[in-house]
């Protein structure tokens, strides 16, 4: 496989990988589709700085001009932020077409995991993963993120599955694919904007070293797939459980009325929830990404020592 034909690893990231320094991958959909400009760019650069302050090297991932990029410059992040929704939200099915056409793509959890693994990066911080959508028993709307977690050996730190999803079915799907779900400091699955969901994760772990050791053991044994670490949003930034659920229920009803489906579903629902909560959900989203970046960097640092 000739990865150099398609993949560009930023010099700083390549040097860190070669010398065994901790590296944390970051997605780019949050820049182009997650929030408005210039807040998206400011947030992306702040996340990179948090990772540096925590002793690791950030590697924001995207597709630019048909090139798979592991590590973006501030100018490239600015470009994605300004282009916004005009950048294709790229999942696994889009990768070959975007590369062959020389187009841009903002990477989801799925494609960030793929490109991180190609580059040799083991740890990835995101906001929340996709999952099984409510009503999937009839629509079959299941995020490709879950399939990727079952097949690609990357440790993903998130704030749980987005609470617009069917959380119970999401956990069942992950179990079927053999993906261990870890709660950082909790046995309960956090639900993105809130710390509680009513669902249990597989294991509770209380230190980055414990997480790194478990992932490292799986890699040494040649186990297929990744590991999902769910990191609850800090208490002071968490939203009221009932408030967020009412907003989600209303947003889902509106999506059905308007016939929104497929890859348009999540951006629509998140935008409506932001509007219905007076922008509170966006503030929470930003803070949980910062929190996940810190834990991912700490875990990557522990992993680099093993």
Q: Which residues are catalytic?
A: 27, 162
Whether the CB-CB separation of 268 and 219 falls below 8 Å is answered with no
Q: How far does the chain reach from its first CA to its final CA, in angstroms?
A: 28
Task: Count Cβ atoms within 10 A of the Cβ of residue 287 and give its class: 0-12 exposed, 13-18 middle, 19 or more buried.
Answer: middle
Give the CA dihedral 182, 185, 187, 189, nearest 10 degrees.
Answer: -70
Q: Among 188, 209, 187, which Cα is nearest to 197's?
A: 188
Q: Is the peptide bond before 38 cis (omega within 30 degrees of 0)?
A: yes
Ranges of H-type helices in the chain: 11-18, 29-32, 39-53, 74-83, 92-101, 109-119, 136-139, 144-151, 167-176, 208-220, 241-258, 265-276, 280-304
| Token reading at 111 | 């494609």
Q: Which residue has the tokens 């040494």?
A: 220
């Amino acid at each position: 496989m000739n990865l150099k034909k398609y993949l560009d690893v930023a010099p700083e990231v390549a040097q860190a990988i070669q010398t065994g320094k901790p590296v944390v991958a970051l997605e780019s959909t949050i820049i182009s589709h997650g929030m408005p400009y210039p807040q998206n760019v400011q947030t992306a650069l702040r996340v990179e700085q948090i990772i540096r302050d925590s002793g690791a090297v950030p590697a924001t991932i995207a597709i630019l001009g048909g090139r798979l990029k592991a590590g973006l410059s501030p100018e490239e992040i600015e470009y994605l932020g300004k282009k916004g929704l005009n950048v294709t939200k790229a999942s696994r099915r889009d990768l070959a077409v975007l590369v062959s056409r020389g187009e841009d793509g903002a990477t989801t959890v799925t494609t960030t995991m793929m490109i991180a693994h190609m580059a040799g990066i083991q740890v990835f911080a995101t906001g929340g993963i996709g999952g099984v959508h409510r009503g999937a028993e009839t629509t079959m709307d299941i995020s490709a993120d879950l399939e990727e977690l079952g097949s690609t050996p990357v440790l993903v730190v998130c704030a749980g599955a987005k609470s617009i999803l069917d959380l119970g079915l999401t956990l069942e799907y992950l179990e079927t694919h053999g993906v261990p779900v870890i709660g950082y400091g909790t046995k309960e699955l956090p639900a993105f904007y809130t710390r509680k969901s009513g669902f249990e994760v597989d294991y509770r772990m209380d230190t980055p070293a414990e997480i790194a050791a478990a992932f490292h053991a799986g890699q040494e044994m040649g186990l297929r797939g990744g590991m999902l670490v769910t990191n609850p949003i800090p208490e002071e930034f968490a939203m009221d459980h009932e408030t967020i659920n009412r907003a989600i229920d209303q947003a889902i009803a509106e999506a059905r009325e308007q016939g929104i489906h497929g890859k348009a579903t999540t951006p629509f629902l998140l935008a409506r929830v932001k509007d219905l909560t007076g922008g509170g959900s966006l503030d929470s989203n930003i803070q949980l990404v910062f929190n996940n970046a810190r834990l991912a960097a700490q875990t990557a640092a522990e992993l680099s020592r093993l």
